[in-house]
Structures are given as C-alpha cells and as structure tokens.
Amino acid sequence: MKSIFKYSLVALALTGLTACNQEQDTQAVAATTSTTLTTPEQKESYSIGASIGAYMSGHIAEQETLGMPVDKQLIIEGFSNGLSNELKLTEEEMQTVLQSLDEKLNEKRMAEAKALAEKAAADSQAFLAENAKKEGVKVTDSGLQYEVLVQGDGAMPSAEDTVEVNYLGTLTDGTKFDSSYDRGEPIKFPLNRVIPGWTEGVQLMNVGSKFKFVIPAELAYGDRDTGTIPPNSTLVFEVELLGVDKAEAPEAPAAQ
C-alpha cells in the first residue's frame, strides 16, 4: 500500500489517531492510557502512537476550522482496520477519496488566505489614513510614515552603510512579531539589504535618534505571507539608531 502515501491526507487516514484496537473495550483503553512505560520497547511503541496522534490532531483541527467535519471514530476504525489489513475500501478507492479531500482542503485554504489578504489590505489602508492625521507624523513621497520620538545629533547613514539598531516590530493591531529588545542585543545589517521601508526610513535618522515608522505593505513584504506577518500587512516599527559603519569608498580605477 506504499503508493497511497502519494497524498498527504492518506498518511493522516492510515496512520490514525491512536494505536488503540477497535476491539478493545472501555476498561482496556483506560488501562492502556495509565500503563507505566518501563522498557525501551514500550516507550518506542508508545512514542509511535503518540506522535501519530499529535500529528493527526493538528490536521483534524485545521480541517474542522475550514468547515469540513471529521468523524474521529471512523479515523480510529480505519486505523485499526489498516493494522489488521481488513480494509473496507480498496487502495484505489482510498486514493481517489483522499485526493479529492486534499483538493477540497486546498481550495478552502486558498479561499481563506484570499479573504484574509483582502481584509488585511483594507485594514492597512484605514490605519494609514488615520495615522497620517496624527500630530507629528510625516509622510514621504513613497507613502512611508514616520514620527520622531527622540532626535539624535550623530551621523546619518546612507543606503550602502551598515547600521546598528534596536527595534520593536508590531502589526497595526499591536501584535509583536519581532524585537531585538527581546533577544537582549542590537542588530547590525547593511541598510540596503532590508525591506524598502527600512532602507528609506533609517536614512532619515541621526545616530542617537528613535523614530516610529509605519510602513505600508508595498514597502514591506507586499502580499507575501511570512507566517508571523499576514499578506498585505502594514508594519509598525520603533527603531533606535545606535551606530553607523560607513561603507568603504570604491577604489579608483588604476591609471592606464
């Protein structure tokens, strides 16, 4: 039955929720769950079942969140039947069913992602419009918004320089997605190797300054979903510029 594992959901269906045998009665199941694991073989067997269960749990939760109900008892029954090689459907039937299920789940995921991206875009536009009205907020030609929290008097970087900063990054709802403060140390990077909003914004700062930047999605990660940052997200950063390492001037060409 190896060919079944071409589809991600086949692995879910045939590995099952638990190593329980469907023929076990309630008392036997209860006894199993309280078994003391002493030998390596017991721990190995238990770990296989527990890891399968944990893996299955996440996928079942996602499927239910997408509005597709799951019959957990039938998953357990299917797993038990698979162990005993007494299947109620043929391999070909299961491949067809599970391929169809994969396709339906992918359609649901794509529809949900599109809806979230559209909502994020609308929310971002509303936030940018409102933030631009606040006292002290300036807007550049690109659409970058910034506010001077502390004005320093040190050097100003160019795009080719390496800067040292501390920063806090949040979504517009205040959700934190990154912070050098949490890591306990500042970070250094070439200013032209980051998102455009940072490259533009940090060049407005003097060493010793602290600015608040509101960066539209088109100057950040656009419609990409980075996991912690949804697509079309406007980002809010508080940035302290601690230092600037000037880029070396290019060498003049040798005289001919």
pLDDT for 85 beyond 80: yes
Select the more confidently predicted residue: 249 or 235. Answer: 235
Residue 214 pLDDT > 90: yes
Active site residue 237: yes
Task: Please give the helix or strand (H or E) that residue 9 lies within, else none.
Answer: helix 8-15
Q: Which residue has the tokens 């023929």?
A: 23
**211: annotated active-site residue:** no
Determine the average pLDDT of the residues in 209-227: 94
pLDDT digits (tens, 9 = 90+) for 95-152: 999 999 999 999 998 898 888 889 889 999 999 999 999 999 999 999 999 999 999 9
Residue 114 buriedness (CB in 10 A; 0-12 / 13-18 / 19+): exposed
Is the pLDDT reported for residue 171 higher than 70? yes
Among residues 7, 79, 127, 237, the one annotated as catalytic is: 237
Q: Which of 178, 211, 213, 229 is catalytic?
A: 178
Query: pLDDT at residue 55 above 80?
Result: yes
Q: Is 173 a catalytic residue?
A: no
Q: Provide the whole-model pTM.
A: 0.66
Selected catalytic residue, list 4, 76, 177, 223: 177
Q: What is the pLDDT of residue 249?
A: 67
What's the average model confidence in pLDDT over 71-93? 89
Tokens of 31: 């006894």
Residue 254 pLDDT exceeds 80: no
Is 70 exceeded by the pLDDT of residue 197? yes
Higher pLDDT pick, 195 / 70? 195
Banded pLDDT at 34 (limits 50, 70, 90): low
Sign of CA dihedral 13, 16, 21, 27: negative
